[in-house]
Amino acid sequence: MFLSRLALGIFLAAIASAAPPIDREALVTRHSPTAHAITPGSAFSVGNGGFAFTADVTGLQSLEHDYALGGFPIETMARWAWHSEPNPHHYTLADASEVIPTQGRPVAYATRASSPAGDWLRRNPQDFPVGQLGFVDGDGQPLALRDISAVEQTLDLWRGEIRSRFVWRGEAVEVSTLCHPVLDLLAVRIRSRAVADGRLRVQLSFPRGHDIATKNSPRLDWTQPESHQTRVTARTPTRADFERSRDGLRYYAALAWSPGGDLRAGPVPHHFILRGPPGGEVLELRLAFSQQPVKAELPTWTHARFSTANAWADFWSSGAAVDFAGSTDPRAAELERRVVLSQYLTAIQFDGAVPPSETGLTVSSWYGKHNTEMVWWHLAHFGFWGRDRFVENGLDWYRATLPAARALAHDRGLPGARWAKMVGPDGRESPGGNPLIIWNQPHVIYLAEELYRNHPTPAVLAAWSDLVQETADCLSAMLTWNAVAGRYELAPPLWISQEIYNPKLSRNPTFELSYWAFALKVAQEWRVRTGLPRQPEWDRQVARLSALPVKDGKYVAMESVPDTWDNVASRHDHPSFLLALGMLPGDGVDRPTMARTFDAVVKSWDWETKIWGWDYPMMAMTAARLDEPQRAVDILLKDGPNNAYLPNGHCPQRGDLALYLPANGALLSAVALMAGGWDGAPDRPAPGFPTDGRWRVRAEGFHRLP
């Protein structure tokens, strides 16, 4: 039997090595989405990781009102653009804090979100939409839906270009839209006779910001024009430069256009209307945004298009790829579509100066704040897919905000670095339940270890050892010794990843216990690799950490409230205990117990009350590690709440989230695990996919998960 399996393994390996490489251009191109109607799913974006422009079916942002009514605001966002309202009361976190006993000492936590201080500190700083570019008619009026027909728009994923065709008032219009790969610059080429005779013009407008009365998916704010400033700082026949300011925010824009065009102030403040060259059907323009004055000459349309196409070809040609062509399972093409589009959507939004919000640079959510518990879903997949620079960029931000994390740890009587949960560019946490979240803490160690596994070099160790060490110091100090039980615990106050329990009573959550063990063991390995002695306390803590809580043969959310399987009210939100064997390799996990737990979740979890887009891929990862590949595919593609992917690749969440990028990132992590494998995976290609012959999986370039 052993020799037969060995021979089969050698045979399969020989086939794999002899297989030609995946035709990546064909793989990507067959999933370039096309729109023929005006729907939220027809909003396509271009971007470079830190700057993005989302277009309606006109290729610009001409129909903002109509898309916003459909729940999908159309925006231009840069991750460096942040605004804070005046703070005349000089609010600090202390003004929104309450004292909660922690490990026998009083600790202040900023939990009073509804107080005046808490409200201001949650809203500020807030992300800021930098501008809008759209068509208007010859009188400066917005385009009306009734005047637009024959829509045909394609997002060319391989080249990073939106190509739009439509008929407006009987005239054909063609628009090409793209984003420069390095500069925060939009390049647009328009062809139409309506441009030549001035009936169709382009308007550049600057909003006041977002309507922050709405936390998620807010509309643009066009009120109070006197509260912000737009100043033209330079002007030539083919270019205008602008300085923008509101309160303490200042940024710059430059618009360049074809010779013969004419830019004039619009009928209301902060609006400028560009007429194309008289008699010329083609109008080319470039629009750049920057934190500093844009002094350089802007690249031409041709140069920007060439640079963009090359950058995207390089992106798609690097890293991993998975191809399901030839599969007979009818869901294979849909999974492949989601995978390709998710790579694109995360690439255009997850490489900015500050780690992304859960809606990235498409629309605003949580005032643009980075929710750090999502960083695993946002960034880890890049490492699995062999695109480490995105992970490195995220860790660069953590290193830059290390002083803030040290200060937060010190305020709570802890050593090392305590990472805030809901943060803006300065790393300052936001009031609410956020200060009590803990599962965001080990992420930094996981991401650093991921980079080392991909490239086990002294340079990687030197780059991230300080983050690993100081994070582990804090993790260790957050454990409490229970002398009566003779074990270490995660004790209150803490808000577990299944966010339905009282943080002041929560003790020993299953997933978090496993994550603590994993992170401290990895941090110990980093000490050994860098020539430091082992930290004895970490070894003691891992050895005597509380067991993962079990009741009636199944894991429960936590030890202190073990009612997961007794109380249906405890079976919604994230089934987070599954993360311990799925996202994580299973420290402290008993596999038969986890298998029974997974069965119970599939059978009796309350999907309708509340479930999130990343829960489906997370559960698929658990199924794959339990060697249940058919169930992994079934749960990944389950027709359930918050698991529908629009034609543009976005996964909206019921309620107020027009899109939800943790779902896209989680999908990519799950597919990486299923196609690329994990330590100890079954010895077969694509071990997380069924072997019944219905799935033909060609995978290349993946890094195994721990």
The dihedral sign for the CA sequence 107, 113, 116, 119: positive
Task: Give the pLDDT mean for 538-567.
Answer: 98
CB atoms within 10 A of CB 190: 25
- Per the domain annotation, does 155 fall within a domain? yes
pLDDT > 60? residue 17: no
CA angle 580, 517, 633 (to 5 degrees): 20
pLDDT > 90? residue 625: yes
Q: What is the CATH number of the domain that holds 211?
A: 2.70.98.50
669, with CB counted inside 10 A (0-12, 13-18, 19+), is buried
Q: Are 117 and 431 in contact (CB under 8 A)?
A: yes
Q: How far apart are CA 25 and CA 692, in angstroms?
A: 28
Per DSSP bridges, beta strands 44-47 and 34-35 are: unpaired
Element (H, E) at 306: helix 301-317
19, with CB counted inside 10 A (0-12, 13-18, 19+), is exposed
pLDDT > 50? residue 34: yes
pLDDT of residue 499: 95
Task: Give the pLDDT mean for 558-570.
Answer: 97
pLDDT of residue 311: 98
pLDDT > 70? residue 564: yes
pLDDT of residue 3: 39
Q: How far apart are CA 497 and CA 489, in angstroms?
A: 17
Task: Give the pLDDT mean for 622-628.
Answer: 98
What are the tokens at 529? 């690799």
Task: Give the pLDDT mean for 5-15.
Answer: 43
pLDDT > 70? residue 83: yes
Task: Give the pLDDT mean for 109-119.
Answer: 96
Element (H, E) at 446: helix 443-454
- Confidence category of residue 41, pLDDT binned at 50, 70, 90: confident
CA angle 255, 257, 33 (to 5 degrees): 85
pLDDT of residue 237: 97
Q: How far apart are CA 613 and CA 606, in angstroms?
A: 14
Q: How far apart are CA 457 and CA 332, in angstroms?
A: 38
> How confident is the model over 353-363, as pLDDT tens digits?
999 999 999 99
Name, in order, each residue with C-beta under 8 angstroms of 383's C-beta and a sequence gap of 6 or more: 391, 447, 450, 451, 454, 703
The dihedral sign for the CA sequence 24, 154, 329, 641: positive
Residue in 198, 190, 196 with CA at minimum distance from that of residue 162: 190
Q: How far apart are CA 536 and CA 572, in angstroms?
A: 39
Name, in order, each residue with C-beta under 8 angstroms of 162's C-beta and a sequence gap of 6 or more: 44, 46, 55, 59, 153, 154, 155, 156, 175, 176, 177, 178
- Per the domain annotation, does 18 fall within a domain? no
Per DSSP bridges, beta strands 76-83 and 126-129 are: antiparallel
217, with CB counted inside 10 A (0-12, 13-18, 19+), is buried
- Per the domain annotation, does 546 fall within a domain? no
CB atoms within 10 A of CB 393: 18
Phi-psi region of 37 (alpha: psi -120 to 50; beta: other; left: phi over 0): beta
pLDDT of residue 18: 58
- Confidence category of residue 14, pLDDT binned at 50, 70, 90: very low
Q: Is 158 helix (H, G, I), strand (E, B) or coil?
A: coil
Element (H, E) at 178: strand 171-179
- Per the domain annotation, does 349 fall within a domain? no
Amino acid at 310: N
Name, in order, each residue with C-beta under 8 angstroms of 621's C-beta and a sequence gap of 6 or more: 582, 583, 632, 669, 670, 673, 674, 688
Q: How far apart are CA 340 and CA 477, in angstroms?
A: 42
pLDDT of residue 70: 84
- Confidence category of residue 42, pLDDT binned at 50, 70, 90: confident
Task: Give the pLDDT mean for 635-653.
Answer: 96
> How confident is the model over 476-495, as pLDDT tens digits?
999 999 999 999 999 999 99
Per DSSP bridges, beta strands 271-275 and 200-205 are: antiparallel
pLDDT > 50? residue 13: no
Mean pLDDT score of the chain? 95
Q: How far apart are CA 617 and CA 637, in angstroms?
A: 9
pLDDT > 90? residue 71: no
> How confident is the model over 304-326, as pLDDT tens digits?
999 999 999 999 999 999 999 99
- Per the domain annotation, does 345 fall within a domain? no
Q: Which letter, b or e, does each residue of 117-151 get, where b requires 16 or more Cβ atoms within 10 Å of its Cβ? A: bbebbbbbbbbbbbbbbbbbbeeeeebeeeebeeb
**Alpha-carbon dihedral angle through residues 650, 653, 658, 663, given to the nearest 10 degrees:** -40
Range in 16-20, 326-330, 344-348, 594-598 with the lowest mean pLDDT: 16-20
pLDDT > 50? residue 21: yes
Which of the two residues, 319 and 13, has the higher pLDDT score? 319
> How confident is the model over 169-199, as pLDDT tens digits?
999 999 999 999 999 999 999 999 999 999 9
CA angle 363, 366, 369 (to 5 degrees): 90
- Confidence category of residue 69, pLDDT binned at 50, 70, 90: confident
Task: Give the pLDDT mean for 88-101.
Answer: 96
Helix axes 536-543 and 510-529, enclosed angle (nearest 10): 150
- Per the domain annotation, does 226 fall within a domain? yes
pLDDT > 80? residue 53: yes
pLDDT > 70? residue 427: yes
Q: How far apart are CA 509 and CA 492, in angstroms?
A: 10
Residue in 371, 456, 420, 394 with CA at minimum distance from that of residue 657: 371
- Per the domain annotation, does 228 fall within a domain? yes
pLDDT > 90? residue 8: no
Task: Give the pLDDT mean for 426-444.
Answer: 95
Q: How far apart are CA 260 and CA 275, in angstroms?
A: 9
> How confident is the model over 356-394, as pLDDT tens digits?
999 999 999 999 999 999 999 999 999 999 999 999 999
| Helices (H), ranges, 320-380 | 332-347, 375
Q: How far apart are CA 219 and CA 64, in angstroms?
A: 9
Per DSSP bridges, beta strands 422-423 and 370-371 are: antiparallel
- Could you give the percent of the chain with pLDDT greater than 70? 97
Q: Find the domain containing 177 and state its range.
A: 130-314
Considering its fold, how many domains does the chain have in total?
A: 1
pLDDT of residue 150: 97
Task: Give the pLDDT mean for 540-556.
Answer: 98
**Alpha-carbon dihedral angle through residues 695, 699, 702, 706, given to the nearest 10 degrees:** 30
- Per the domain annotation, does 232 fall within a domain? yes
Task: Give the pLDDT mean for 160-167.
Answer: 98
Residue in 451, 432, 323 with CA at minimum distance from that of residue 373: 432
Q: How far apart are CA 496 and CA 509, in angstroms?
A: 7
Amino acid at 139: D
Task: Give the pLDDT mean for 60-71.
Answer: 91
